[in-house]
Amino acid sequence: MSTSEQDPFSLEDEYEKWVPPTPGPASEPEPESEPESAPANLDEEGGNGFHVVPLDEPPPPVPSPSPTPSAPARPTRAVDEDTGIDTRTVAERRGDAVAMETGKRPPPEGWPGEAFAFPLRKPGLQTIAGAAIFLMLLDLLSRANFFLGLLFKLFAVIFFLRWQLHVASKTAAGHDVPAGWAGAVDMSRERLRGIGILLVAALLLVLPGVVADLLERPALAVVLFLAGGVLLAAGALSQVVGDPTLMRPWNVLAWIARRPLGLLAATAGWWAAGWTEILLWWMRDASTGAYLAASLGLRLVGMYLWLLSARALGVVGRSWSLFDDEDDDEEDDDEVEAATSPAG
């Protein structure tokens, strides 16, 4: 058998396979062909619908998110971390609380003499005149119909007491001019409840003096009346500064011990209102002209003293911090540390 028959491949083919060919004349390089991109939508070719981008093409830039306007900051709430309860007082949540400061606020310049000019500052004179005329009309109504006049005067007492406490609150916060009627018109449930407590306390505190007067002990009756008025003024201070804890007996006694004269001056308007009612009752049989003249004069003086007593009560409220706040904070920290320590 020949070699060609035994092996289908010739020796020349094997030689050409292992020996590199001789270089020929230089030829121009073929231009590089652009890479073929896949179809834009492979669904047409049976794909899954993805858009294929060529490898040498840079990815499209990612658009930056448009800036969103920031929402206004919500007012911070004094929330206890353990209980989740808002620790602010009702007055603080309503925005009517007196601004708290460490220590005492200084009294107004010229105190106490400047208190006599306080009711005459604008708009105090206008409010005094308007209130006096309104009360004079109620006095005339009471003369004609005692029970109907008494009913209207009860609402008037609530209104004017609320206004007096509002003026005192503004004074405690640092204001040196009388406040208008706007604060007295706002009668919330909490404020009505506070005024109701003060009125009930006033009746209870006046009762011992009335009993002493019936027993013909005038000196004792005067002392009891004055003491009851000072206690009532100390209790009203809780409404002025928006702190219900000041109604506690030990806090009331602390205020009386530290500011007795200021609290006594704060009762001037109440005593003026009471004596006005007594004097007008004695004059109920006088002529109409004399009765109206006496009523107008007494009401003008009474409303002047009403604002003066509000000023006195507000100045007492400026010394809200009776004790050293730093010492109180240190004592509280010591108690918390002792309670949370492993030994405790």
DSSP 8-state assignment for residue 86: B
Rounded Cα distance, 34 and 56, in Å: 10
Summarize pLDDT for 10-61 with one digit per residue, the tens. 555 554 555 555 555 555 555 555 555 544 444 444 445 555 555 555 666 6
Q: Nearest 5 degrees, angle CA 175-CA 180-CA 182?
A: 110
Contact status, residue 205 vs residue 221, Cβ threshold 8 Å: no
Rounded Cα distance, 308 and 178, in Å: 10
Would you state the structure tokens that stand for residue 173, as one six-digit string?
A: 């916060």
User: Which distant-in-sequence residues (6+ apart) come within 8 Å of 155 by Cβ?
Assistant: none
Q: Evaluate whether residue 32 is within a structural domain.
A: no
Summarize pLDDT for 258-267 with one digit per residue, the tens. 888 989 999 9
Q: Evaluate whether residue 10 is within a structural domain.
A: no
- Strand partners for 86: 79
Q: Evaluate whether residue 267 is within a structural domain.
A: yes
CA neighbours closer than 13 Å in the CB half-sphere of residue 27: 5
Q: What is the pLDDT of residue 16?
A: 53
Q: Evaluate whether residue 4 is within a structural domain.
A: no
Q: What is the pLDDT of residue 185?
A: 75
Rounded Cα distance, 164 and 191, in Å: 13
Rounded Cα distance, 125 and 300, in Å: 10
Q: Evaluate whether residue 198 is within a structural domain.
A: yes
Gyration radius (Cα) of the chain, Å: 45
Rounded Cα distance, 173 and 315, in Å: 9
Would you state the structure tokens that stand for residue 143, as one six-digit string?
A: 């003369």
Contact status, residue 242 vs residue 169, Cβ threshold 8 Å: yes
Q: Evaluate whether residue 339 is within a structural domain.
A: no
Give every residue of the chain whose pLDDT is below 50, as ranges. Answer: 1-4, 6, 9, 15, 38-47, 67-75, 100-103, 322-344
Q: How many CB atoms lie within 10 A of CB 132?
A: 19
Q: Evaluate whether residue 1 is within a structural domain.
A: no
pTM score:
0.62
Q: What is the pLDDT of residue 331?
A: 40
Q: Based on the structure, what is the number of domains in the chain?
A: 1
Q: Evaluate whether residue 102 is within a structural domain.
A: no
Q: What is the pLDDT of residue 111?
A: 85
Ramachandran assignment for 75, one of left (phi > 0), alpha (psi -120 to 50 degrees), beta (any other): beta
Residues of the domain holding 251: 111-333
Q: What is the pLDDT of residue 197?
A: 87
- Strand partners for 79: 86
Q: How many CB atoms lie within 10 A of CB 316?
A: 26
Q: Which CA distances in Å does 182 have to 127, 159, 173?
A: 12, 11, 17
Would you state the structure tokens that stand for residue 116, as one six-digit string?
A: 């006599």
